[in-house]
Amino acid sequence: MADNPTRDTPRIAASGLTQCIAAAYRAAGIAAAEAQRAAELMAASDLSGADGHGVFRLPQYIRRIKAGGLNTAPDIRVIRGAKASALVDGDNGLGSLVVSRAVEEAIVLAREYGVGWVGVRRGNHAGAAAVYAAMPLMHDMIGLYFAVGNANHLPPWGGIDMLLSTNPIAIAVPALDEPPLILDMATTVAAYGKVKVAAQQGKAMPEGWMIDREGRPLTDPNRADDGFLLPIGGYKGAALALMFGLLAGTLNGAANGADVVDFNNDDTTPTNTGQAICVIDIEAFGEPVAFKRQVDAVIRQLHGSALLPGFDQIRLPGEDRHRRIAEREANGVPIPPALLAALDRLAAELAIPKLFG
Amino acid sequence: MADNPTRDTPRIAASGLTQCIAAAYRAAGIAAAEAQRAAELMAASDLSGADGHGVFRLPQYIRRIKAGGLNTAPDIRVIRGAKASALVDGDNGLGSLVVSRAVEEAIVLAREYGVGWVGVRRGNHAGAAAVYAAMPLMHDMIGLYFAVGNANHLPPWGGIDMLLSTNPIAIAVPALDEPPLILDMATTVAAYGKVKVAAQQGKAMPEGWMIDREGRPLTDPNRADDGFLLPIGGYKGAALALMFGLLAGTLNGAANGADVVDFNNDDTTPTNTGQAICVIDIEAFGEPVAFKRQVDAVIRQLHGSALLPGFDQIRLPGEDRHRRIAEREANGVPIPPALLAALDRLAAELAIPKLFG
């Protein structure tokens, strides 16, 4: 995974990576400004270490565009059903562009009403959840982001029919002098992107990520189709996936349950992906600096805890991400050999320059 | 736990239980109307099977009132910081009265703005989270409820200092012909109320609920002070507890982290308990009946799943609760012997009639 590029893994600056992604999007028929914006959003996943959600997905996105399963010139519309909430119809455009539009709208609503809730329908896979949950931070706002995953890898608790997705939850809360706290978690023990990365890297999965249809541990990522991901906390994680799926999908008229299109195996059916973003303006509840100072205080209390045997530090949500962004901004984004080969093939197909050209 | 009263366990009708609780509250100095309302809210926990959150807590609440740690005549105020959000200052009144006031406000806001977010500060322990998350259902609205627990039983992940609480999450979504989906979960494998009930019933806890400070399993509920609850999904559950604690506590100027008062061991310090309720008006996103029909469809898909070996049915969040409410409305709320003895002692202290008088 992201955590383990070797020292020899080739690296590319985020700006170069963004240029490469934008060139691919343009070659696939997306207008220059949208291609640039979508490339920046994709590279933001890579920069933050969410490697299963960044350029790793580019060949699949382009394949879908070429197959006619994604609209390269969508009419993304904001439908206002009430004052502080909205629905964004993505017209089957790139997920990143649709969701970022929804987040922008939610920020405007939160500034005016204290809270804004914007749902998305007819979108697509949008990349790392944290990228979107974190957007309100610079406005002294809190972001909560929920999404329906783009393939069902999870049965209801006690079942074996895969009817639920890994439905991620992301929450971002600003601090003052400390890095912001940013949770970005699948409701499963492992996100499916991690399974794909493990397969690409030829690594076994730890027990506890997946089981097969008999309930036995499944550790070979190439056998992922023979089983399903395990939810966190047993029935609790499956319930979280269900409830946030209803909020991010069903409420918006987007796919959920049996309607979810497996975008790994189907490049043509519109996915009707749903997401939801809730933005809270801190100022509606009190003085933002005082709040952020109090968040700092909580962070420092937690870091000050004595350690459980076997641990050498307390890691809070978003801290690894924060460190990784700094490290990758300085040293570039690592591109493992298998990914590089896939991107080289993509560049050849699209007749654009290679990443390391 | 709630699930396992024996056939011989004495039962009392919810109306009789409510009368008894109201009488106790009145005897403790709470005005009749507020006592009645708070009693109904407490009995609602019992009726739904959340036995660790209902009348089981009454002796503790009364003890706190007698010790001067809870305001029997609070001035509960709604502070409006923005149009679609509000902050409720509970003036250290009964948690149930403060939170139900916040939910009512959030419903009004959601009707006007599509979404309403109301935070609570200076409240108290309010009982089962599902009671409050479910209140918007009858208005064709969705409820999300978050609370800071009233004692820290959880360290940060990798630590041993108990700086986080079990911070419950509840989400209620209406269906059409099916029972509503209602998730009510602690961010720990077990809620602390379950530990207290196990101790009262003299039962061992399963492994996985708690560990001691060396990381060893802890199964004796009477030794609960020697360890702490385990979060669901390891670091993920601890992160959920942290993030929702910031939303329910810190954002509202309520206690979180080291400021949380252990209300099991301290009857006098105001707890400054924080909660948050977010209500979404379904109508802002589409036609409510169509939405609820779609929720029915998802529920039926999930119930239709083939079963994993070892399971005999798919149970969705809220279904046990729904069945239990029907069963207890018909047959009464079971009062186990140890609880009955505690309530008899309370009745004697307050000079009110016994539950089975």
Amino acid identity, position B214: E
Looking at every residue in chain A, the average pLDDT score rounds to 95
Chain B closest-CA separation from residue A28 CA (Å): 33
Q: What is the pLDDT of residues A246-280, one digit of tens each?
A: 999 999 999 999 999 999 999 999 999 999 999 99
Give the count of beta carbons closer than 10 Å to the beta carbon of residue A342.
18
Amino acid identity, position A270: P
CB B115 within 8 A of CB A117: yes
Q: In this complex, is the C-beta atom of A291 within 8 Å of any C-beta atom belonging to chain B?
A: yes
Please determine, for residue A340, whether its predicted confidence score (pLDDT) is greater than 60: yes
Average pLDDT over residues B133-142: 98
B238 token code pair? 């601890």
CB contacts, 8 Å: B213 with chain A: 308
Nearest to B346 by CA among B101, B25, B93, B12: B25
For residue B96, give every residue at least 6 positions away whose Cβ sits within 8 Å of its Cβ, in sequence order, or none: B37, B38, B41, B42, B126, B127
Please determine, for residue B171, whether its predicted confidence score (pLDDT) is greater than 90: yes
Q: Does A1-66+315-357 carry CATH code 1.10.1530.10?
A: yes
Please determine, for residue B258, whether its predicted confidence score (pLDDT) is greater than 70: yes
Residue by residue, DSSP assigns B150-168 as SSEEEPPTTB-S--EE---
CB contacts, 8 Å: B311 with chain A: 158-159
Contact between B306 and A158 using a beta-carbon 8 Å cutoff: no
Which of A118, A243, A320 is the mutation pick for testing B, counting most B CBs within 10 A? A243
Instruction: Using pLDDT thresholds of 50, 70 and 90, give the confidence band for residue B1.
Output: very low
Which of A88, A166, A302, A319 is the mutation pick for testing B, counting most B CBs within 10 A? A302
The interface residues of chain A toward chain B in range 239-258, judged by CB-CB distance below 8 A, are 239-240, 242-247, 250-253, 256-258
Q: What pLDDT, on a 0 to 100 scale, did the predictor assign at position B4?
A: 57
Distance from the Cα of residue A77 to its chain's centroid: 22
Average pLDDT over residues A37-63: 95
Enter the CATH code of domain A73-188+231-303.
3.30.1370.60
B179 token code pair? 């029972």
Instruction: Using pLDDT thresholds of 50, 70 and 90, give the confidence band for residue B242.
Output: very high
Spatial separation of the C-alpha atoms in residues B38 and B34, rounded to whole Å: 6
The interface residues of chain B toward chain A in range 15-54, judged by CB-CB distance below 8 A, are none
A128 token code pair? 């790392």
Average pLDDT over residues B261-266: 94
Looking at every residue in chain B, the average pLDDT score rounds to 95
The answer to whether the predicted template modeling score (pTM) of the entire model surpasses 0.90 is: yes
Q: In this complex, is the C-beta atom of A119 within 8 Å of any C-beta atom belonging to chain B?
A: yes
Give the count of beta carbons closer than 10 Å to the beta carbon of residue B220.
14
Q: What pLDDT, on a 0 to 100 scale, did the predictor assign at position B92?
A: 98
Average pLDDT over residues A27-50: 97
Q: In this complex, is the C-beta atom of A278 within 8 Å of any C-beta atom belonging to chain B?
A: yes
Q: What pLDDT, on a 0 to 100 scale, did the predictor assign at position B5?
A: 67
Top-confidence residue, B106 or A356: B106
Please determine, for residue A3, whether its predicted confidence score (pLDDT) is greater than 90: no
Instruction: Using pLDDT thresholds of 50, 70 and 90, give the confidence band for residue B345.
Output: very high
Instruction: Using pLDDT thresholds of 50, 70 and 90, give the confidence band for residue A5.
Output: low
Spatial separation of the C-alpha atoms in residues B261 and B124, rounded to whole Å: 10
Please determine, for residue B113, whether its predicted confidence score (pLDDT) is greater than 90: yes
Ranges assigned E (strand) in A155-258? 169-173, 181-185, 210-212, 217-218, 227-229
Spatial separation of the C-alpha atoms in residues A318 and A133, rounded to whole Å: 11
Amino acid identity, position B61: Y
- End-to-end alpha carbon distance in chain A: 25
Q: In this complex, is the C-beta atom of A227 within 8 Å of any C-beta atom belonging to chain B?
A: no
Among candidates A160, A169, A236 on the partner chain, residue whose Cβ is nearest the Cβ of B232: A236
Average pLDDT over residues A197-219: 91
CB B247 within 8 A of CB B85: no
Ranges assigned E (strand) in chain A? 11-12, 77-79, 85-89, 115-123, 141-147, 169-173, 181-185, 210-212, 217-218, 227-229, 273-281, 333-334
Instruction: Using pLDDT thresholds of 50, 70 and 90, give the confidence band for residue B340.
Output: very high
Architecture (CATH level 2) of domain B1-66+331-357: Orthogonal Bundle (1.10)
Please determine, for residue A4, whether its predicted confidence score (pLDDT) is greater than 70: no
Which of B236, B283, B319 is the mutation pick for testing A, counting most A CBs within 10 A? B236
CB contacts, 8 Å: B281 with chain A: 82, 85
Chain A closest-CA separation from residue B291 CA (Å): 7
Contact between B181 and A232 using a beta-carbon 8 Å cutoff: no
Top-confidence residue, A116 or A5: A116
Q: What pLDDT, on a 0 to 100 scale, did the predictor assign at position B2?
A: 42
Q: What is the pLDDT of residues B17-63, one digit of tens each?
A: 999 999 999 999 999 999 999 999 999 999 999 888 999 999 999 99
Chain B closest-CA separation from residue A18 CA (Å): 31
Chain A closest-CA separation from residue B135 CA (Å): 17
Residues of chain A with CATH 3.30.1370.60: 73-188+231-303
Q: What is the pLDDT of residues A64-86, one digit of tens each?
A: 999 999 999 999 999 988 999 99
Residues of chain B with CATH 1.10.1530.10: 1-66+331-357
Chain pair A-B, CB pairs under 8 angstroms: 269
For residue B35, give every residue at least 6 positions away whose Cβ sits within 8 Å of its Cβ, in sequence order, or none: B22, B23, B25, B26
For residue A130, give every residue at least 6 positions away whose Cβ sits within 8 Å of its Cβ, in sequence order, or none: A48, A50, A170, A172, A182, A184, A318, A321
Query: Pairing relation of β-strands B115-123 and B85-89?
Result: parallel
Amino acid identity, position B331: N
Among candidates A285, A302, A305 on the partner chain, residue whose Cβ is nearest the Cβ of B119: A285
Average pLDDT over residues B168-197: 92
How far CA B234 is from CA of A274, A304, B156, B160, B293, in Å, comes to 28, 19, 10, 14, 36
CB A34 within 8 A of CB A94: yes
φ, ψ of residue B154 to 5 degrees: the values are: -140, 125
